[in-house]
Amino acid sequence: GAGKSVFTRRLQAFLSDPNLADWKRFFAEKPPFVVRWERGRDKPWPEDFQSHLERQLADEISSVAQSSNQPLSVEKLVNWAIMHNRVVLILDALDQAGSRESIKTLTQFLSTDSGRRCCVVITGREYAVDDQQFGLLADFPVARIERFTPEQQYEYLRKPPALVPEVKVESTDSEQDRRWKIQRSLSVLFPGYHAFQELLSFPVVLRLVR
C-alpha cells in the first residue's frame, strides 16, 4: 500500500535504462545486471538462490552473447558479472517471505561470496523489517517510504481533474490556518475526513479514489 512494489519496478527500470546517466556514478560507469524477484502468496522466492540467480542472469545475458561478433560463454559471463559486483538483486515483499526457513535460505545466500558481491535491495512492511533488524538485515542501511501528509493528499487530489476545491491561502494565514483550510477542502470529498486521514496516507488508497 505504501508503494514498495512500485518503487522496486521503477528502480529496476531506472538501473536497466542505458539512456539514464545518473546510475553510472553508482557502478563506476558500468551498467549493472538487474534481477527482481517479487514474493507473493503464489510466487515464492526460490529455494536455491544461487542457482536461480545464475539461471535468470543467463537468460538475460544470452541475447548479448549471441549478438556479439565473437562467441561468448554465457556461463563465464554470468560468473564474471557476479564476481565483478555488477549484479543488483531486488527482493520484494520480505513480509510475505513465509516460513523462517525462507529467511534462513536467503540469509545463507547473502553470506556466500556471490551474495556478498551482489548489490541487494529488500523491501518489506515495517513490522517485517523490524523483526529482522538484528538478523537478516543487521548490516543493511534502512530507508522508509513515508506516508502522504494531508498537504500531499491535497496536492494529489488537486491534479486535473481536481476532486477537491482549491485552497485560498492569505498572506496573513498562519501554518495552522493553512492546514485547517486544506483539511476542510479534503472534507468536501471525504466527509468526516479525520476518520479517513490515516487510510488516505497510503498512495494506493489515493490511487483508488481516482
Phi and psi at 101, nearest 5°, equal -65, -35
Question: In terms of C-beta density within 10 A (0-12 exposed, 13-18 middle, 19 or more buried), how is residue 206 classed?
Answer: middle
pLDDT at 65: 65
pLDDT at 29: 73
What residues contact 142, with CB distance under 8 A and at least 6 apart? 129, 133
Would you place residue 22 in the very low, low, confident or very high pLDDT band (cuts 50, 70, 90)? low
pLDDT tens-place string over residues 172-194:
999 999 999 999 999 999 999 99
- Contact of 3 with 204, CB cutoff 8 Å: yes
pLDDT tens-place string over residues 124-155:
888 888 888 778 888 888 888 888 999 999 99
Gap between the Cα atoms of 162 and 156, Å rounded: 9
Q: Is the peptide bond before 161 cis (omega within 30 degrees of 0)?
A: yes
Range 152-175 average pLDDT: 94
pLDDT at 158: 95
Would you place residue 32 in the very low, low, confident or very high pLDDT band (cuts 50, 70, 90)? confident
pLDDT tens-place string over residues 44-90:
777 788 999 999 999 888 876 666 666 678 888 899 999 999 999 99
Question: In terms of C-beta density within 10 A (0-12 exposed, 13-18 middle, 19 or more buried), how is residue 19 classed?
Answer: exposed
Range 92-105 average pLDDT: 79
